[in-house]
Amino acid sequence: MEWKQLVGIYGHDRNKQMGQTVILFEKDQRLFLQPRGAPEKTQEIHAAGGSVLITEPDGRTQAYMERRTEDGTVQSFWQSETWDQNRMENSASARFPYIREDAGADPSHYYHIPLVVPVSELRQKVLAAQPPVEPGPFRKADLVELAPLDSAIHLDIRYAQSDNFLGTPLYTQARAFLQRPAAEALLRVLHKLQPLGYGLLIHDGYRPWYVTKIFWDATPSEDHNFVADPQKGSRHNRGCAVDLTLYDLATGKPVEMPGLYDEMSPRSFPDFPGGTSLQRWHRDLLRRAMESGGFTVNEDEWWHFDYKDWKHYPILNVPFEKLHGVAGAT
């Protein structure tokens, strides 16, 4: 693959430890560095032939260099093995060239992380915990089950299965709910997509607070930007967030996106420039359709959308098995 087509995540083979502590990505012919788990410290690599220093989570300071052609195409990019305040060692033996890495976007696969604590050890402790107290006032919860609203709404509730990032079921039932205004808005989005040949595949909607607490406690701290802080609660806990993708109405199969659902990598960013043009088109179509219905995409997750009224609803901690007789939206 030519350098001008390198618009993904970069890594290398000679320094695996470094590849695990820093993320490198490109957008609009601009290269960026981001310490893993610290998006607020993202730095752009600036002028052609210039260098940038970045202090990584382990305390080491590394120097990076890049060269471009006149049209802005990346010609070469490397990390110096050592950094000296007076000079940068950039002989051939000290360079670590970066190449594009892409784990693929097959929707039949799933992403998994090493757990800080096994879910089996967390569950009882978390079920006894209480959500944060909020002052309100809030609207009365009115959760609506999504599947009965339209036959073109399909479910793939990963947290009721083992094919999720924690590798174990979190829900006892494979169901999805949203607050009524959000559910009705989602139905309008579906009706815009159906003439284009697409249906909606729901991965998650309302999420009891105790599950958010399990996510946080089980996930390594460097990946906490991909899970909600239970002390603040998730918009899923309020019944105003939905995780979803598109599927082909003709085949019933999920479409390919630039990254996998729940993948904790830059491929999950809604503006990630890698992947194929078709994958990016699918992702952007979903985003445009959802935004037209009053939803906003999460800045770290292309599949996660928040409904505009989320602030008006409280954090809920009701398990699915206690949601009886939920009526469909009108």
Catalytic residue selected from 26, 121, 301, 321: 301
Q: Which domain holds residue 68?
A: 3-101
Are both 284 and 137 inside the same structural domain? yes
Higher-confidence residue: 173 or 49?
Answer: 173
Q: Assess if residue 145 is contained within a domain.
A: yes
Higher pLDDT, 175 or 118: 175
Q: Which of 83-87, 246-250, 260-264, 280-284 has the lowest mean pLDDT?
A: 83-87
Domain boundary among the residues 72, 101, 130 is at 101
| pLDDT score recorded for residue 58 | 60
Residue 309's nearest CA partner among 197, 147, 182, 199 is 182
Is 301 tagged catalytic?
A: yes
What is the average pLDDT value for the chain, to the nearest integer?
Answer: 78
The predicted-structure confidence for 196-241, as pLDDT tens digits, reads as follows 999 999 999 999 999 999 999 998 887 787 788 999 999 999 999 9
Q: What is the pLDDT of residue 282?
A: 97
- Window from 111-125, 138-152, 166-180 with minimum mean pLDDT: 111-125
Last residue of a domain, one of 48, 72, 101: 101
195 conformational bin, left if phi > 0, alpha if psi -120 to 50, beta if neither: alpha
User: Does one domain contain both 127 and 23?
Assistant: no
Sequence-separated (6 or more) residues with CB below 8 Å from residue 62? 18, 22, 53, 54, 56, 79, 80, 83
Q: Does 190 share its domain with 312?
A: yes
Query: Residues 272, 308: one domain?
Result: yes
Q: Is the domain of 61 the same as that of 178? A: no
Mean per-residue pLDDT for 271-296? 92
- In whole angstroms, what is the distance from residue 42 CA to residue 63 CA? 14
- Would you say residue 83 has pLDDT above 50? no
Identify whether 330 is part of a domain. no
**CATH code at 185?**
3.30.1380.10
What's the pTM? 0.70
Last residue in a domain, options 44, 73, 101: 101
